[in-house]
Amino acid sequence: MTQYKIITEKEAIARYQLSKYIQGKHGDKAKYVLLEGNVEITQDVNIQKFCSAAGANGIIVDGNLTLTGILYQPDMDYGETLFVTGNLHAKSVNKGGAEFYIKGNLVVEQTIYGYYNHGSLVVEGNTEATTIFAEDHYFKFGGDVQGLIISTGQIEGVEVDFHTTEPLLDELIKNDHYSNSGKLDQYINEGRHIISAQYLAGRKQRVSFDPANTTSAIPKLISNDEAQQRFDLDQYDPFGDMGFEKVILLDGDTYINGDLNIEWTNNTLATLGAKADTDSTLVLVNGNLTVAGTIKPSTESFPFLLVLGNVQCDVLTSYDECIHITGDADITFAFDGNYNDGSITIEGVTRVPYVLNSDHSSSIRPEGAVLINYYSDHDDFFEYDYTTKDFERVMVSAVFDEKKDFRQFAFIELLKAGKSPLKKGARPARLILEEELEQLGNGNANLEALDLTDKKLKEFPRTLTKITSLKKLVLDDNPIECIPDNIKDLVNLEELHLERCGLESLPDEIGMLPKLRVLNVANNSGLVLPESINQLASLRVLNISYNVGFGLPESLTGLKNLEELTCYQCSTAAPIEFPEMITQLTGLKRLRMGSNSIKTIPDSFTNLQHLEELNLNASLCYLNEFPDLSKLKNLKTLHADGLIAFTTRPSSKQSLLKSFFQITSLETLYIDRHGERNEKFIKQDQFAEIQQNLAHDPERFAAFASRLTIVPNIIHGDGRKGIVREALKAGHLEGISNLQNLKVLDLSFNSLTSLPEEIFALKGLQFLNLRYNNLTTSERLTISRNLPGCTIDFRENRVDNDTADSEDVKQWQAMNKRIKEANELMNASGDREKLLKSLEAYDEVLAYFSSGKVVDEYNLLYANYGKVYAYSYLTSNHKASFSPEELLELNQAAINQGLHTLELVPAMIWHFTDLGKFHEEVTRITANSVAWQMHVISDKKENLEKALEIIGKGVAYIEKETHYFIYDTQVRILIKLGRKEEAYKIVKRILTLSPDFGDFQDLKQDVDYTMWLAKQ
129 within some domain = yes
Mean pLDDT of all residues in 222-241:
96
* Torsion on CA atoms 324, 328, 330, 334, rounded to nearest 10: 40
Same domain, 105 and 215: no
Q: Which residues have C-beta within 8 Å of that of residue 664, sequence separation ≥ 6?
A: 630, 738, 739, 740, 741
Asked if 547 contacts 521 with a C-beta cutoff of 8 angstroms, the reply is yes
162 within some domain = yes
Same domain, 405 and 315: yes
Main-chain dihedrals φ then ψ at residue 222, nearest 5 degrees: -130, 165
284 within some domain = yes
Same domain, 234 and 343: yes
Asked if 131 contacts 110 with a C-beta cutoff of 8 angstroms, the reply is yes
Same domain, 176 and 268: no
**Whole-number Å distance between alpha carbons of 223 and 119:** 74
**Whole-number Å distance between alpha carbons of 761 and 283:** 81
How would residue 850 be classed by pLDDT, with cut points 50, 70 and 90? Answer: confident
Q: Quick check: 789 pLDDT over 60?
A: yes
Q: Give bridge partners of residue 925 from the DSSP assignment.
A: none
Give the tens place of pLDDT for each residue, 243-275.
999 999 999 999 999 999 999 999 999 999 999
How many of the other CB atoms lie within 10 Å of CB of 310? 19
Asked if 744 contacts 668 with a C-beta cutoff of 8 angstroms, the reply is yes
Q: Quick check: 330 pLDDT over 80?
A: yes
Within 13 Å of residue 692, how many CA atoms lie on the same side as its CB?
9
Give the pLDDT score at 1008: 86
Same domain, 337 and 364: yes
**Whole-number Å distance between alpha carbons of 630 and 635:** 9
128 within some domain = yes
**Whole-number Å distance between alpha carbons of 22 and 555:** 74
Give the pLDDT score at 481: 93
Same domain, 192 and 326: no
Q: Quick check: 428 pLDDT over 90?
A: no
Query: Which one, of 963, 902, 889, lies nearest residue 931 by Cα?
Result: 902
Give the pLDDT score at 1005: 81
Using CA of residue 713, residue 716, residue 717, residue 723, what is the dihedral sign? negative
Mean pLDDT of all residues in 720-731:
96
Amino acid at 355: V
Main-chain dihedrals φ then ψ at residue 415, nearest 5 degrees: -60, -45
470 within some domain = no
Give the pLDDT score at 417: 87
Q: Quick check: 665 pLDDT over 70?
A: yes
Q: Quick check: 444 pLDDT over 70?
A: no
The domain boundary residue, chosen from 390, 416, 442: 416
88 within some domain = yes
Within 13 Å of residue 620, how many CA atoms lie on the same side as its CB?
25
How would residue 892 be classed by pLDDT, with cut points 50, 70 and 90? Answer: very high
119 within some domain = yes
**526 — alpha (psi -120 to 50), left (phi > 0) or beta?**
alpha
Query: Which one, of 903, 875, 870, lies nearest residue 891 by Cα?
Result: 875
Same domain, 62 and 185: yes
Give the pLDDT score at 202: 58
How would residue 2 be classed by pLDDT, with cut points 50, 70 and 90? Answer: low
Q: Are strands 88-90 and 495-497 parallel, antiparallel or unpaired?
A: unpaired
Q: Quick check: 798 pLDDT over 80?
A: no
- Using CB atoms within 10 Å of the CB of residue 761, give its burial: 0 to 12 exposed, 13 to 18 middle, 19+ buried: middle
The domain boundary residue, chosen from 704, 725, 746: 725
Give the tens place of pLDDT for each residue, 99-138.
999 999 999 999 999 998 888 999 999 999 999 999 999 9
**Whole-number Å distance between alpha carbons of 63 and 899:** 49
* 116-125, 447-456, 684-693: range with highest mean pLDDT: 684-693
Long-range (24+ apart) CB contacts under 8 A made by 958-967 are 958/924, 959/920, 961/993, 961/994, 961/997, 963/924, 964/990, 964/994, 964/997, 964/999, 965/928, 965/999, 966/924, 966/927, 966/928, 967/999
Give the tens place of pLDDT for each residue, 374-403.
999 888 899 899 999 899 889 998 999 988
Same domain, 284 and 163: no
Give the pLDDT score at 132: 96
Same domain, 361 and 216: yes
How would residue 201 be classed by pLDDT, with cut points 50, 70 and 90? Answer: low
Query: Which residue spans within 37-177 are E strands per DSSP?
Result: 39-41, 45-46, 58-62, 65-67, 70-73, 81-84, 88-90, 92-95, 99-102, 106-108, 111-115, 120-123, 127-135, 138-141, 145-151, 154-156
Same domain, 216 and 76: no
Amino acid at 202: G
How would residue 914 be classed by pLDDT, with cut points 50, 70 and 90? Answer: confident
Give the pLDDT score at 808: 80
1001 within some domain = no
Q: Give bridge partners of residue 128 from the DSSP assignment.
A: 107, 146
Q: Quick check: 431 pLDDT over 80?
A: no
Give the pLDDT score at 548: 95
**Whole-number Å distance between alpha carbons of 482 and 527:** 10
Predicted model pTM: 0.69
Give the tens place of pLDDT for each residue, 545-568.
999 999 999 999 999 999 999 999
Give the pLDDT score at 203: 60
Q: Quick check: 25 pLDDT over 60?
A: no
Q: Quick check: 191 pLDDT over 70?
A: yes
Same domain, 320 and 177: no
Domains held by the chain: number: 3
Domain range enclosing 33: 5-199
Q: Quick check: 534 pLDDT over 60?
A: yes
Mapped onto helix, strand or coil, the DSSP state of residue 449 is: strand
Q: Which residues have C-beta within 8 Å of that of residue 757, sequence separation ≥ 6?
A: none
Same domain, 332 and 384: yes
How would residue 77 be classed by pLDDT, with cut points 50, 70 and 90? Answer: confident
How would residue 45 be classed by pLDDT, with cut points 50, 70 and 90? Answer: very high
Give the pLDDT score at 443: 62
DSSP letter at 21 equals T
Q: Which residues have C-beta within 8 Å of that of residue 643, sequence separation ≥ 6?
A: 595, 617, 618, 673
Mean confidence (pLDDT) of the chain:
93
